[in-house]
Amino acid sequence: MEERFLRLEELRVQRDLELEERRVQLEQSRLELEREHDFRMFSVFAQMLGILKQGSGPAPGPAAPVPWQGFGWGARTPQGPEQASHGFSGLSNAGSKHLQASAFLSSRGNDIKFRRGVTEEGSAAYFADKYDEDKNPSGIISFGISENKLCFDLLSTRLNQSDMHHIDPSFLQYPDWRGHMFLREEMARFLTYYCKAPTPLKPENVILFNGCSSVFSALATVLCDSGEALMIPTPFYGGIRNSIYLYGNVQLVFVHLDSKITETNTRPFQLTVEKLEMALKGAKSEGMHVKGLILINPQNPLGDIYSQGELLEYLEFAKRHKLHVILDELYMLSVFDESATFHSVLNMDRLPDPQRTHVMWGTSKDFGMSGIRFGALYTENKDVSSAVTKLCYLHGISGIMQYKIAQLLRDHDWINQVYLPTNHSRLKAAHTYVTDELKTLGIPFLNRNSGLYIWIDLRRYLHKGTFEEELLLHRRFLGNKVLLACGKGFQCFEPGWFRLVFSDKTHRLQLGMQRIRQVLEQQSQELHQKLSVPRQFLEQESQADSTEEALCVPRQQGPMSSTKTRDLIGLLQQQIRPPAWLQKDSLGQLTQEQPGALDVLNKLASK
């Protein structure tokens, strides 16, 4: 009897602890949502003050996060998981707020189940209705998923050669979870050669996974505790968010970049140490514990390639703050023009902090084999290596596939003489075709020579310049059977940017561009009716000039129309909280720095 009583008491205590933990989670969620609301409110108010002070400038979209410039904030603070999905997937999941949690799932399971974004909506539609010239000619053409479809002929021929077909008994048994040593040795030689490492890289520092998403997940889990954060410049490949969150509950701190050319920004979306410092400072002021910095080089979706000098500056910044640096070099062999040169971090003679520098690469992009699921991590940190190896147990690669990959990577003659020249030639031709089409349409874009995609500017096709309109345009493309990835999926700061993947066969590129043209013509007609301005004004507002390094032409900015001012005031009225919110310390500090600000706010709110 006594034993049973103790057991019941133990169960009661355990249940109480679970309820308390859930209560704490809910309270944290509420606080995060409140902080997000306050930030949006401050952002809109800051823009309104700027308008009243200057009398000109474009209105921000209601969903556009605006840096709190001038008041000590350098970048938007991080989002918790609720805001991360709520901030945009609410648009792509109509009625998602009313979804009920499943009794069969944990709170984390329900969070994962309902976690969706706009990219998943487009991908699901595409996989359900793929274009096929014979079987489904009216299906969706994908310009939204970053896959290289140009070299299947070369790869299928090479992968079917006799030296690929071998089965050793060890391939059918449990391997070293870090990967078979023969592949780790080949991977070290491959990276030494193609990254131009000053000294041979060591096989013992190589760890193999089933894809680079698994590398991100493992690194985030072992480098960060639950709720801690990694910094990343935006826009960035949005899949990283799920990779680091689903297992490790690791957050992202966004370093927002914009398209404006200024004295300090010599190119659109330029990353500088000053922006990194500002974002880190803002995160710390919010109580976030930042453990590392993620860099993608060549960058996805911008196509930027960091110079050696820039890389060194970023690494030294990280060393000053004792931050890990995770470098994604997944597109390093997809630089297809001689005018651009890629510099791997492994090419450096001396790393500022080698124990906190971790590099990943895989075959998905450079070899057009995203279905193979192969990724490699190179790290000199033995503790990190030991920890992520435990997670390799969940992310292993079959021995047969490891053998094929090793055979492929060691064949430098085929890679250098057949594959890379052909792949680069085809990428360049596809890029030229699509960019010529964009110029004909007058669509600005970033003119880069790396990666599989082009970052295009469709802001002039949005009436008010909001993320809601961006999503509607994305869905209009999808309705016309072409998939583009919209900027919100990359956490772009400015509504209206899209990523267009061009690494496809010519006939699909031609048909896809025709469908894009149809959508934009329809969009222009509707804008013409709404704005009641000559259509040629819309067409001339942003012209693409092939002589520019970056075909990113800012729209003309004149005095703000009364319509846009009313829109912003309306947004302010919708967002404003009860009067108690006005008494917060943060607003008090604001009114000290900006005399008369509270009076302005009260007048606006009363309109």
Q: What is the pLDDT of residues 61-80, one digit of tens each?
A: 333 333 333 323 333 333 33
* Position 533 pLDDT exceeds 70: no
Contact between 235 and 301 (Cβ < 8 Å): yes
Q: Which of 250-254, 335-339, 418-422, 602-606 is least confident?
A: 602-606
Tens digits of residue pLDDT in 397-421: 999 999 999 999 999 999 999 999 9
Do residues 64 and 495 lie in contact, with contact meaning Cβ atoms separated by under 8 Å?
yes
Question: In terms of Cα–Cα distance, which of 333, 419, 422, 328 is closest to 378?
Answer: 328
Structural contact between residues 234 and 295, judged by C-beta atoms closer than 8 angstroms: no
Across 238-251, average pLDDT: 95
Partners of 63 in beta bridges:
none
pLDDT at site 97: 45
Average pLDDT of the residues in 361-382: 97
Residue 551 pLDDT > 70, yes or no?
no
Contacts of 462 (CB under 8 A, 6+ apart): 61, 469, 470, 473, 495, 496
Q: Evaluate if residue 584 carries a pLDDT over 90.
A: no
CA–CA gap between residue 190 and residue 186 (Å, rounded)? 6
Measured CA to CA in angstroms, residue 515 lies from 29, 141, 483, 495 at distances of 42, 9, 10, 21
Q: What is the per-residue burial (b if ≥16 Cβ within 10 Å, else e) of 399-425? A: beebbbbbbbbbbeeebeeebbeebbe
Q: For 144-166, what is each residue's pLDDT tens digit? A: 999 999 999 999 999 999 999 99
Cα distance between the two ends of the chain: 71
* DSSP 8-state symbol, 337: S
pLDDT at residue number 31: 59
Between strands 357-362 and 141-142, the pairing is unpaired
* Contacts for 579 with CB less than 8 Å, ≥ 6 apart: none
User: 323, 293 in Cβ contact below 8 A?
Assistant: yes
Reply yes or no on whether the pLDDT at 594 is more than 70. Answer: no
pLDDT reported for residue 580: 38
Encode pLDDT of 77-96 as tens digits.
333 333 333 332 222 333 34
Integer Cα distance of 220 and 68 in angstroms: 28
Instruction: Output DSSP code: residue 161.
Output: S
The rounded distance, in Å, linking the Cα atoms of 187 and 375 is: 10
Average pLDDT of span 513-519: 98
pTM: 0.76
pLDDT at 529: 84
Question: What integer best gives the mean pLDDT of the chain?
Answer: 82
Q: Does pLDDT of 579 surpass 50?
A: no
pLDDT > 90 fraction of the chain, expressed in percent and rounded = 67
Query: Could you give the CA distance from residue 207 to residue 215 in angstroms, rounded to a whole number?
Result: 9
**Residue 399, SS3 per DSSP:** helix
